[in-house]
Amino acid sequence: MAKIITVVIDENGDQSVDLEGYQGKGCSAVQKVFEAAVGKSTKATKKPEYFKQAKTNTLQR
Amino acid sequence: MYKDRGCLVAALNGMGYNIVEVHDIAQQLYDFQGRATHYLDSTGDRANVIVRRHIVGGAANDLGFALQPDGTYSAIISEFDNHKHNADWLKALKRSYVEKVDMKLAKAHGLRFLGRKVINGRIQLQYLDSRGN
């Protein structure tokens, strides 16, 4: 599945990042890339894939 | 919040100020009559990124951004110029800056730019991550 990053910058210059096709920690790594633009205020939207990976990891333990 | 000097200069260019001075050592700011300003510093306001008053236009004072100890640049705007460099102008500058930093970071991390849209006043940037992780 293609990994698509959509960054939205609102009228105030604040941004949110929407990730598609990422699983688990991959989300956080990409999130950190864009946090550098505005500091820690970047909002992230976690897709079902994120939690799917996290659940899988739990079952493997 | 402005940490990347190059992107700040590019954002100022995007706001119509095509000539922007950049100084490693902060330089004095001047008012519309050519007098040294003392808005924030009694010994004289100094900035590292400067749009001189003749570039701002009209009877304006210099617009400056001074490097802070934390590595960010903060704006020095005279009260006289608040009508031009007001909250809306600062928001537009921040938007332009954030977009330029995003583009720079994405490129540095090997993300492929897919496109830019403006939807209901919001800038939308899309990237494809084809890195092998």
Strand partners, B123: A9, B118
The verdict on A34 touching B (C-beta cutoff 8 Å) is: yes
Q: What is the pTM of this model?
A: 0.85
Q: Is B19 in a helix, a strand, or coil?
A: coil
Selecting from A8, A11, A37 the residue whose C-beta is nearest the C-beta of B105 gives: A37
The pLDDT, as a whole number, for residue B49 is 98
pLDDT of B81 strictly over 70:
yes
Summarised one tens digit per residue, pLDDT across range B88-97 is: 999 999 999 9
Confidence at residue A42, expressed as pLDDT on a 0 to 100 scale: 55
- Rounded distance, CA B79 to CA B76, Å? 10
Q: What is the ipTM of this complex?
A: 0.86
Q: How far is CA A46 from CA A22, A61, B117, B133, in A?
A: 9, 23, 22, 18
Please list every residue in chain B whose beta carbon sits closer than 8 Å to the beta carbon of residue A11: 91, 95, 121-122
pLDDT (0 to 100) of residue A56: 42
Tell if the CB–CB gap between A15 and B97 is shorter than 8 Å.
no
pLDDT at residue A41, rounded to an integer: 52
> CA angle at residue A45 from A40 to A48, to 5 degrees?
140
pLDDT at A60 over 90: no
Distance of residue A7 Cα from the nearest chain B Cα, in angstroms: 5
* Residue from B86, B124, B127, B131 to probe the interface with A (highest A Cβ count within 10 Å): B127
Task: To the nearest 10°, report the CA torsion of B65, A39, A14, B29.
Answer: 0
Classify burial at B33, counting beta carbons within 10 Å of its beta carbon; exposed 0-12, middle 13-18, buried 19 or more.
Answer: exposed
| Closest alpha carbon within chain B to A34 | B102
Give yes or no for residue A57 having a pLDDT over 60.
no
- CATH T-level assignment (fold) for domain A4-60: Alpha-Beta Plaits (3.30.70)
CB nearest B127 (choices: A5, A11, A12): A5
Residues in chain B within 8 Å Cβ distance of A7: 102, 124-127
E-strand ranges in chain A read: 3-9, 15-20, 43-45
Stretch 17-46 of chain B: residues touching chain A, C-beta under 8 Å: none
User: Using the 8-state DSSP alphabet, how is residue B111 labeled?
Assistant: P
Average pLDDT score over chain A: 74
Nearest to A50 by CA among A6, A18, A12: A18
CA dihedral over B19, B24, B29, B34, signed as positive or negative: negative
**CB neighbourhood size of B55 (10 A):** 17
CB atoms within 10 A of CB B118: 9
Express each pLDDT in B18-66 by its tens digit: 999 999 999 999 999 999 999 889 999 999 999 999 999 888 999 999 9
Of B99, B122, B126, the CB nearest to A5: B126
| B89 interfaces chain A, CB cutoff of 8 Å | no
C-alpha torsion angle, residues B83, B25, B96, A7 (rounded to 10): -140
List of residues 6+ apart from B18 with CB closer than 8 A: B55
- Span of A52-56, B41-45, B72-76, B109-113 with lowest mean pLDDT: A52-56
Q: What does the pLDDT look like over A27-51, one tens digit per residue?
A: 888 888 888 777 655 566 656 665 5
Measured CA to CA, the distance from residue B38 to residue A24 in angstroms comes to 52
